[in-house]
Structure 1
C-alpha cells in the first residue's frame, strides 16, 4: 500500500519549528530558523561585553556554554576550570571546546560552517565561543542563570500562560 502523504512544503523563514512539524527545542526563540546559525562566526562585536570577556577569559564563556549544552549535568565552574587547566598545561583547549560545538550543532540542527567544528575552534576559538554564546541567547537562554535557573524561569512562564483551549468559534447552541 502506498503512502499517500503529500510532499513536505519548504519551511517558511521565521515560522516556529512546531508549525513545521518539528519538535520544538527548549526555550526556542521564534525569529530564527533552526537550520541556520542566528549570527555569523565573525559577528563578535554584536555583543561587545561578551566579546571582551571571551577574549580575556574564555574559560568563563566556555563554562556557561557547556553548562547549557550539558543540560546542567556539569556546572559552568567545573567546565570552565577544566577548560582553563587544559589551556595552561597544553594550550589546546580547542580540542575540548569543539566537542561542545558539535553537540550544540546536533541539538539544534545547525550547519557545520564555515568549516569543520575542530578547525573553527582551532583557528577562531574566541569567535566560535562568542557565536555559540549568542546562539544560546537567541534561543531564549539567559546565560547568567545557568541551566537550573533557565529551567525554573521556563516553568514559571508556563504557570503564567493561558491554560484554557483557544476559542475556535462556530459552536453555538
Structure 2
C-alpha cells in the first residue's frame, strides 16, 4: 500500500471516493459508522465529547430519523475549517446527505493522514513546565 501524500494546508489528502486508500476506515464507515463518527467527534471536540457519546448521538439520529448527516456535516465543516480545506465536491451538508459513508471515511482518513489518528482518541498536548528558576513571590 502506498503511503498517503504529505498533508498540505488547504488540500484534502484523499478524495471523497478514496476508500481503497484505507480499507479499515472504509469498511468500518460502511458497516458500523457510529464507531468512526464517534472517534472523529472525540478528536475534533478536543476530547470534550467521548467516542461513545459522539457515536451514540449519530446512531440515534440515523436509526430513528435517517438524518445522521445533520450531525456529521457539522464535524466535516469543523475539520475543513481547522485545515483550510475546500468544500469538495459540494457543501458539507450535501456531501453527507448524498454520500454519508464516503464522507465519514474521508474525514477519518484525513485526520489519520494529518497525524491525528481518530482510532487513538484525542491526545492532549501535555502542558509545558515553567522555565527553571522562575518562581512567584510576594513583593
TM range (shorter): 0.7 to 0.9
Match of 1:89 among 56, 64, 78: 64
- What TM-score does the superposition give when structure 1 sets the normalisation length? 0.68
Once the two structures are TM-superposed, the CA of residue 88 in structure 1 deviates from its matched residue by 1.3
Instruction: State the distance in 2 between where 1:100 and 1:40 align.
Output: 17
Match of 2:109 among 123, 134, 143: 134
Match of 1:66 among 41, 64, 72: 41
Larger Cα-atom Rg: 1
Deviations 1:20-45 (A, max 9, x none): xxxxxxxxxx9221110011000011
Pairs within 5 Å for 1:72-111: 72-111=47-86
**Counterpart position of 2:7:** 32
Structure number with higher relative contact order (C-alpha < 8 Å, ≥ 6 residues apart): 2
**Counterpart position of 1:54:** 29
Instruction: State the distance in 1 between where 2:92 and 2:118 align.
Output: 22
Instruction: State how many pairs are aligned.
Output: 125
Deviations 1:89-138 (A, max 9, x none): 10110011101001111111110111010000000000011110011011
Pairs within 5 Å for 1:158-173: none
Question: Alpha carbon RMSD of aligned pairs, Å?
Answer: 2.0
**Structure 1 residue runs of 4+, over 2 Å off?**
none
Q: Is the 8 A contact 2:15 2:106 kept in 1?
A: yes
Gap runs ≥5 in structure 1:
1-29, 159-173
2:124 equivalent to 1:145: no
Instruction: State the distance in 2 between where 1:137 and 1:80 align.
Output: 18
Once the two structures are TM-superposed, the CA of residue 46 in structure 1 deviates from its matched residue by 1.0
2:107 equivalent to 1:124: no
- What TM-score does the superposition give when structure 2 sets the normalisation length? 0.84
